[in-house]
Amino acid sequence: MTSEILKLEGVCKQYPQTTVPAVEAIDLTLHQGQILSLLGPSGCGKTTLLRLVAGFEMLDRGQIVLDGRVVAGRGRSLPPEKRNLGMVFQEFALFPHLSIADNIAFGLKKLKLKPSDIDRRVREAIALVDLEGLNDRYPHQLSGGQRQRVALARALAPRPVLMLLDEPLSNLDVQVRLYLRNEIRNILKATGTTAVFVTHDREEAMAISDTIGVMRQGRLEQLGTPEEIYREPASRFVAEFVTQANFLEARRNGSYWETEMGEFDVSAAGELSSDVAEVMVREEDIVVKPDETGKIAVRDRQFLGREHRYCLMMPSGQCLHARSSELSVLPVGARVQLSVSETAVRVFPPSPVRSTLSSGAIAVGCESGIYPSSVKSG
């Protein structure tokens, strides 16, 4: 078993003049070489948690253990500069008057290394982020992606015990983000660096991470591998935020969940004690087939490159979304039927903000961002 690099035990933080904790009762462990993403919407507490680990915020309760040392809690709190951390933020925070090599060397000089050791580490860091030949350039002479790689090299050069990255790609354009997220993972893995990565982008989190912690209102809603988070969401919130799934209100009838569009076996969908529920179906699990006698119509279609995304109008006025990689394209207005494997669905307690079931599923427009769906249709 690899060594524990970061251990959070009952970590809590509440700001003055607030009624809800920013971070509440967080427990997690991160081992050597692991990359953890803290994922969640704005205001969920992920950046506050990162700042607590960094030492920029003081704990209210709990403790933080870093590489076997208690750095916060038990009546003590080490300042950031004594925690041996590397940090990369949204803003590149490079010194504009220093060359790339001097920016990277800045933190190394504080370690009081020999000049020859500093030069060697600078060269290694520049090579690691693939910026050879740019040593003498200044930040304003680089692209945004290059500047962020310099920031990463500067953070890695002192060989920190833990890297903290707070939405480091959010200020970059889409193509650069896609490239750099792969580069960051490759660099962290090549150096065996343990890291905590904060993001609100689910695809970014799944691409970079070994483990994802989904946060909501200061709490960890679920902690697991990207595959576990996506395939086995622990709550309606995780399912909606991470998978962008469809939800369909359902009523229990014996061993089945009845929905507007069909029935799901209770044992396959997941046991729930209540008589009403919401069934979750991921967009890619819905099979759409043309059927002139079908009661469902294609309302809209989006081409996403490798697949089409269909907005499908139910007889009640509900909309659901389905993704298909089929080469044949269904035109807007086409009548269709739907099917999905019962093993691909999950069931959750009904959301308190939704209306109670009275006569089947409730109509929700495509514009609302909440898309119910079904197991089969005719």
Same-domain check for residues 161 and 300? no
On whether residue 335 sits in a domain, the answer given is yes
Q: What is the mean pLDDT of residues 336-342?
A: 87
Alpha helices (runs of H) in 81-218, residue ranges in sequence order: 100-110, 115-128, 144-156, 174-191, 202-208
Same-domain check for residues 196 and 162? yes
Same-domain check for residues 190 and 315? no
Number of domains, the chain:
2
On whether residue 85 sits in a domain, the answer given is yes
pLDDT in tens, 25-38: 999 999 999 999 99
On whether residue 237 sits in a domain, the answer given is no
Same-domain check for residues 29 and 120? yes
Specify burial of residue 58 (Cβ count, 10 A radius: 0-12, 13-18, 19+). exposed
On whether residue 93 sits in a domain, the answer given is yes
Alpha helices (runs of H) in 192-293, residue ranges in sequence order: 202-208, 226-231, 236-243, 266-269
CB 24 within 8 A of CB 12: yes
Same-domain check for residues 75 and 209? yes
User: In the prediction, which pLDDT does 165 show?
Assistant: 96
Q: What CATH number is associated with residue 148?
A: 3.40.50.300
Distance, in Å, from the CA atom of 28 to the CA atom of 372, rounded to the nearest integer, reads 34
pLDDT in tens, 212-268: 999 999 999 999 999 999 999 999 999 989 987 899 888 988 888 888 777 888 776
User: In the prediction, which pLDDT does 268 show?
Assistant: 65
pLDDT in tens, 156-208: 999 999 999 999 988 888 888 899 999 999 999 999 999 999 999 999 999 99
Out of 183, 204, 231, pick the residue that ends a domain: 231
Band (270; pLDDT cuts 50, 70, 90): low
Q: What's the domain range around 81?
A: 4-231
On whether residue 333 sits in a domain, the answer given is yes
What's the mean pLDDT when you consider all of the chain? 87
Distance, in Å, from the CA atom of 357 to the CA atom of 371, rounded to the nearest integer, reads 16
pTM score, two decimals?
0.85
Is the pLDDT assigned to residue 365 strictly greater than 70?
Answer: no
Q: What CATH number is associated with residue 360?
A: 2.40.50.140
